[in-house]
A and B are shown apart, each in its own frame.
Chain A
Amino acid sequence: MATTEETRARAVRPNLTWVGTRPVRPDGVDKVTGRAKFGADLQLPGMLVGRMLRSPYPHARIRSIDTSKAEGLKGVKAAVTRDDFEDLPSEFVPAGEMLVNYRDMVRNVMAREKALYEGHAVAAVAATSAAVARQALSLIEVDYEPLPHVIDVLEAMEPDAPLLHEDLVTAGVEPPPEAPSNIAKRLSFTLGDSEAGLEEADLVVEREFTTRPVHQAYIEPHACVANVSEDDYAELWCTTQGHYVVRAFCAKLLGLDISKLRVTASEIGGGFGGKTVVYLEPVALALARKARRPVKMVMSREEVFLASGPAPGTHVWVKMGATRDGRITAAEAVLKYQAGAFQGSPITPGAMCAFAPYALENVKVTGYDVVTNRPKVASYRAPGGPMSEYAVECVVDEIAKTLAIDPVELRLKNAAREGTRTVYGPKFGPIGLIETLEQAEHHDHYRAPLAPNQGRGVACGFWFNIGGESCASLHVNDDGTVTLTVGTPDIGGSRASLCLMAAEELGIDFEKVQPIVADTSSLGFTFLTAGSRSTFASGLAVIEATRDAVRQLCRRAAQIWELPEESVRWQDGCARSEESEDAPEPLSLAELATVAGKTGGPIVGHAQLNAQGVAPSFGTHIVDVEVDRETGLVTVVRYTAIQDAGKAIHPSYVEGQYQGGAVQGIGWALNEEYIYGEDGRVENPSFLDYRIPVASDVPMIETVLVEVPNPRHPYGVRGVGETPIIPPLAAIANAVESALGIRFSELPMSPPRVLAAIHEGAGTA
């Protein structure tokens, strides 16, 4: 077994000074003293209040919209509807590194022919006060023709289901179907011969699973302030995971030149994937353009639930076969994911990662992307992964128990490793799944005794991680301090990790490096903080920018010393000449910075890149639960998250990612769900009735950092933000099964559902 210490020792660069330490994050004091400025915190002179009118119907044709009475109300300065947004063609086009269908986007921002879910935006006003804005909304006359709706994914796939889009033809089927349906896409991945593999098996387990849509539940609602001048220069301040992407989307929807729109990212109170799209921003800009005054829009919590993207609800069928000694011979899955009102569920990554933790020769996965009368789904931490891997990890657990093999041993026997071919084609490079399983097997948690009504579960998780475009600039100030400018909004401590890498490269104190997240006009395009990419991709840009500055510092020293440039090297924060008896004294960064004006001007390092060389991250979680047989309440009593970080640049914030992902997964497993009435309306759009875990609901999440370095990153970074939300769903289901002897195939395992199953003495499948 490789210990943590041993795997750490395999890190790409030894003898690190700053990387791997735990200083306080640069934004820490502002966050805990209330100084940090979030989306709703900006105030401008003459600012108006924007409010949205939303559809009360889950599906309705919009015959007409009349805003004249609202516009006549004193204090109302502008109103917008579908008529204020140009229609755009249905095609997937690249936008800020994403493939976007602007026809769908413009319709999601503002309903056009039809309202497709309860809460769909229909009109908006800007007024001098919230009270006037609310009154104005009540004066807007919308003539709706209510239509039959469909909420459930399986019902939406039926041939006679109400159609959301009369022109939606299933993609991925040749020849294309003649009739439209709610099935937007079918896809499949195959490896080997799954039917033959199943015939080899001594045991075949076939199960179906259902998960409900869950919201990202960021504490800060969507919020923005827009301002558009008379010559159409626009400014936008907003809470987002990627202000450059917001700029691209808004410029397209409003017909603006990208250079005329400057977007500044506020501090962000959580995003988890849900702040990678636009909702309010184009509308606020449209209102500001009409009113020629700043407009602030802030969603209520109810609006966040009704009108911003949750993760999809799913139906997953899994069939796996194994020999008596625990070798998995084949695996099949059929995934059906709700996309919400517009196509684009994360069915593709869901299908690709379902069986990724296993070295399998025979696999077949089929996926369906299905539209329903719900809000359009948005990314949520490892989008698509938790649901498919939940189903697979439950079946793996059942195989282990049926064959009387320890569940960790069974996973070790079948675990993916370097050289394992994935169902989507390529073979894995160096990965750390086995190391996480070995850590689990030898962790004292795994051997600790259980009390009555308690059970223990284990599950693994996988996520790809991504790279992408990032820029960074490093300004050397004349007192020897450094200002680091990046373009990725800081959600989980990325400013700290980026400054640590800059300090390491420069050989100066971490406190000497001050970061700033630049607005879109101050630094080149930088993709989202998403896909577990910021520390990896923006980190690569920071390292390159720092090395650019170091080259300039060495050149200045060589010029001062009148020595050849190649004879100067950078070490421990100083320029040094080749060792010799008459070598000049080293020149520190501060000394070189002081004379920068006399040696050629400011020293600024810069880098722009499209980061490649990404590596995936695997994790293994162990959880103990206790079930109250009288109430059905499942309590998590102990939880350990083990994951391969590649290299933890700032271990505390890596651990924070493990803990946060685990807690969100606990909520997904035990409580969170959208509850719809027969009328197609959401019955629980508030934190009172949509129950996310709070601090008193969970134990301290124990963490184990495994570090199997990514050989394509100077420090070995992989990316860690998404994998930890995947294992909890199955780990908890497996633990509940151990406690009760009942396997739940439907999430969440909320008290009413658990109690009913206890009374029935069976699962709720």
Chain B
Amino acid sequence: MARVVLTPNLSQLAGGETEVELTASTIRQLLRELGDRYPELKPHLDEGVAVAIDGQIYQDAWLEPVPPESEVHLLPQIAGG
């Protein structure tokens, strides 16, 4: 199972949970699972978040594999100048 860590802003939309364990094989599955489990979180996930898997940050990468036992962080998406 992947261990998903939520930022304080996302945590308050997930009933105060700061860490969630869930099974997902891809980023898309992971986001869908989270949205199903915490409906208030879903609009924010739909708007777009970056996903860090074991330290590597992915943006808009639905099909990226999520290894079992990985550490996952949801972050705001980064742009730049």
- Enumerate chain A interface residues (CB-CB to B < 8 A): 92, 94, 97-99, 172, 174, 187-190, 216, 272-274, 276, 348-349, 352, 379-383, 424-429, 463-469, 530-533, 610, 612-614, 712, 721-722
**Interface pair A425/B5, CB less than 8 Å apart:** yes
- Interface residue? B57 (CB, 8 A): yes
Provide the bound-state CA to CA distance between A694 and B9, in Å: 43
7 pairs, A vs B, C-beta closer than 8 Å: A92-B47, A174-B13, A272-B81, A425-B7, A426-B57, A530-B80, A531-B80
**Interface pair A174/B57, CB less than 8 Å apart:** no
Provide the bound-state CA to CA distance between A468 and B7, in Å: 23
**Interface pair A424/B55, CB less than 8 Å apart:** no
**Interface pair A424/B75, CB less than 8 Å apart:** yes
B64 / chain A contacts, CB cutoff of 8 Å: 612
Provide the bound-state CA to CA distance between A533 and B79, in Å: 10
**Interface pair A426/B81, CB less than 8 Å apart:** no
**Interface pair A612/B81, CB less than 8 Å apart:** no
Given contacts A172-B9, A189-B7, A424-B7, whether A380 and B81 have CB atoms under 8 Å apart is: yes
* Other contacts beyond A352-B76, A379-B80: 4, CB < 8 A: A99-B77, A188-B9, A424-B76, A425-B75
What band does the interface of chain B fall in when counting residues whose beta carbon is under 8 Å from A? 20 to 34
Provide the bound-state CA to CA distance between A189 and B60, in Å: 22
The 5 lowest CB-CB distance pairs between A and B, nearest first, are A273-B81, A531-B80, A425-B73, A426-B52, A379-B81
Q: Which of B63-81 contact A (CB under 8 A)?
A: 64, 71, 73-81
**Interface pair B55/A273, CB less than 8 Å apart:** no
- Interface residue? B8 (CB, 8 A): yes
Question: Nearest Cβ distance between residue A106 and chain B, in whole angstroms?
Answer: 19
Provide the bound-state CA to CA distance between A383 and B55, in Å: 22
Given contacts A189-B8, A426-B52, whether A466 and B80 have CB atoms under 8 Å apart is: yes
- Enumerate chain B interface residues (CB-CB to A < 8 A): 5, 7-9, 12-13, 47-48, 52, 54-61, 64, 71, 73-81
Question: Nearest Cβ distance between residue B78 and chain A, in whole angstroms?
Answer: 5
**Interface pair B48/A614, CB less than 8 Å apart:** no
**Interface pair A612/B79, CB less than 8 Å apart:** no
8 Å CB contact of B78 from A174, A272, A276, A466? A466
Question: Nearest Cβ distance between residue A468 and chain B, in whole angstroms?
Answer: 7
8 Å CB contact of B8 from A190, A468, A612? A190
A352 / chain B contacts, CB cutoff of 8 Å: 75-76, 78
Nearest A-chain residue to B74, judged by Cβ? A425
**Interface pair A613/B56, CB less than 8 Å apart:** yes
**Interface pair A610/B60, CB less than 8 Å apart:** yes
A276 / chain B contacts, CB cutoff of 8 Å: 81
Provide the bound-state CA to CA distance between A747 and B79, in Å: 25
Given contacts A94-B48, A428-B55, whether A531 and B73 have CB atoms under 8 Å apart is: no
**Interface pair B55/A426, CB less than 8 Å apart:** yes
Provide the bound-state CA to CA distance between A99 and B59, in Å: 12
**Interface pair A468/B59, CB less than 8 Å apart:** yes
8 Å CB contact of A530 from B48, B54, B55, B79? B79
